[in-house]
Amino acid sequence: MRTQVAIIGGGPSGLLLSQLLMRAGIDTVVLERQSRDYVLARIRAGVLEQGCVDLLRKAGVGARMDREGHSHDGTNLSTAHGMFRVNFKERCGQSVMVYGQTEVTQDLYQAQDALGARIVHQVANVELHDVTGDHPFVTYDKDGQTHRIDCDYIAGCDGFHGVSRPTIPDTVRQDFERVYPFGWLGVLSRTAPAAEELVYANHPRGFALASMRNAHLSRYYIQVPLSDRVEQWSDQAFWDELRRRLPAEVADPMETGPAIEKSIAPLRSFVSEPMQWGRLFLVGDAAHIVPPTGAKGLNLAASDVHYLHEALRAAVLDGDRAALGQYGPRALTRVWAAMRFSWWMTTLMHRFPDQTEFDQKIQEAELHQLEWMVSAQETMARNYVGLPY
C-alpha cells in the first residue's frame, strides 16, 4: 500500500488530520488498534475551545456541532464561602462549546466515509521504519498477515501508550512530567445538568466538577485518592460526596440517577520534546498530557493538527519542506502555555495530601482575587477559551 501521509491512531486527532489533508488533496491512510465501535464508545471531555470549533468547521464537520452543541459564555467557581462566575464573553469576547468528544469522533467518521478514506481498524504490532530517511514505511499485522505502507510522512496520533513516541530514541527525546497525588472519580448519568454552565468547586474535602454533555446527559467528578477503586464507590456514596462539595444552590436541586459509566482517572502533566524526528510528527497525547482541570486535552490535539496540517500542505502542495521544521516549535509554544494554565487550575482547585490550613486559605484568597479583579478574570478567560493558533 502507498500513501502520502500514514496516520497512526484513529481517534479524533488522527481522523481530523486525515479529514483536513484529504480535503486539500493529500492522500492518507489511518491505522487504528481498536474497532470503530470501541473508538466511538470512549467517554471523553466535551469542552471545545474557539479555535477547535473553527477548525472543525473548516474540516466540514461542524454542522451537527452547531445544531446540537451548547455555547457557554462563562463558567462558575466555588469556594467554601460562595460561588461566582467568570464571564468569558465580557472578558475576552469569546465562548466555548460543550459538545462531546464521542460526537466529534462520530462526525469525523461520517465525513471520512463520505471522502472514501482508508481507515484500517484492529491492527496489531505497528512498527515505524526509516523515519529519518527519505523513504519511511509502516508495518502492521491484521488477520494473521503482515502489511506494509510506504509513505512520505508519518503522523503519530496514537496516544500516550502508542508506538510513535518511543520510536524517537532516548538520546534525542526529553520528557517532562509531573504526576499529581490524586485522581478524578467520574460519573456519567442520564440526568439533567445541575447548572447551565460548568461549576468548578474548591472545597476542604477536595475538588468537584459539575459538567454536562447535553440537556439529558451529565458528567460529574470528585477528587479521590489514587488508592481508591471504583468498586468502593456506590452511586449513592458518590452523589452524597458530590453534594457536600458543591455549593448548596447547585447541590440541593441536583437530579441524580444510576451511573451509566464510572471510572477513576489519574492526573498528570507531561510533555515530550521534540515533536518531530525526521519524517515522524507527534500529535496530541502522543506528545503531551494535561490534567483535565483546564479542559485542554482534545483542544491541544486540535491545535497540533492545525499546525501539522499547515506544514504538510506547504511541503506537499507547495514544495516548501522548510515549513515542516516549524511544526514542533509552533506546537510546543502553545502546548506549554496550555500546560501552565492546566497546572494553575489544578493547583488552585484541588486539596493536596500534605496541604495545611494555611495552604487552603491561600487558595481561597486567590479565588477571592479572581472574583473581584478584572485583569485576573481576563487572564483566566483568554486561557480557558483558548489562546490563538
Residue for grid cell 473508538: 39
What pLDDT digit, counting tens, does each position of 238-257 carry?
Answer: 999 999 999 999 999 999 99
Residues labelled as active-site residues: 72, 200, 292, 296, 384
**DSSP states of 168-229 as a string?**
S-TTT-EEEEEEEEEEEEEEEESS--SSSS-EEE--TT--EEEEEEETTEEEEEEEE-TT--
What pLDDT digit, counting tens, does each position of 188-209 carry?
Answer: 999 999 999 999 999 999 999 9
**Angle at 198 (CA atoms; ends 384, 200), nearest 5 degrees:** 80
Which of the 8 DSSP states describes residue 235? Answer: H
What distance in Å separates the CA atoms of residue 95 and residue 263, rounded to the nearest whole number? 29
* Four-residue CA torsion sign, 219, 223, 225, 231: negative
How confident is the model at residue 41, as a pLDDT? 84
How confident is the model at residue 45, as a pLDDT? 66
Which of the 8 DSSP states describes residue 2? Answer: B
Strands 199-201 and 208-214: antiparallel
> Residues 98, 101, 104, 110: what is their CA dihedral angle, to the nearest 10 degrees?
-150
Q: Of 236, 210, 209, 164, which Cα lies nearest the Cα of 350?
A: 209
Q: 184-267+350-385: which CATH number, 3.30.9.10, 3.40.190.10, 3.60.40.10, 3.40.50.970? A: 3.30.9.10
Domain locations in the chain as residue ranges:
5-77+95-177+268-345, 184-267+350-385
How confident is the model at residue 87, as a pLDDT? 98
How confident is the model at residue 213, as a pLDDT? 82
Q: Whole-number mean pLDDT of the chain?
A: 95
Would you tell me how many other CB atoms lie within 10 Å of the CB of residue 230?
14
Terminal-residue alpha carbon distance, the chain: 34
Position 44 pLDDT exceeds 80: no
Give mean pLDDT, residues 266-283.
97
Give 177: exposed, middle or buried? Use CB within 10 Å, 0-12, 13-18, 19+: exposed
Give mean pLDDT, residues 209-219.
89
What's the CATH superfamily of 5-77+95-177+268-345? FAD/NAD(P)-binding domain (3.50.50.60)
Quote the pTM value: 0.94
Strand ranges (E), 274-361:
276-277, 280-282, 288-289
Give mean pLDDT, residues 43-51.
85
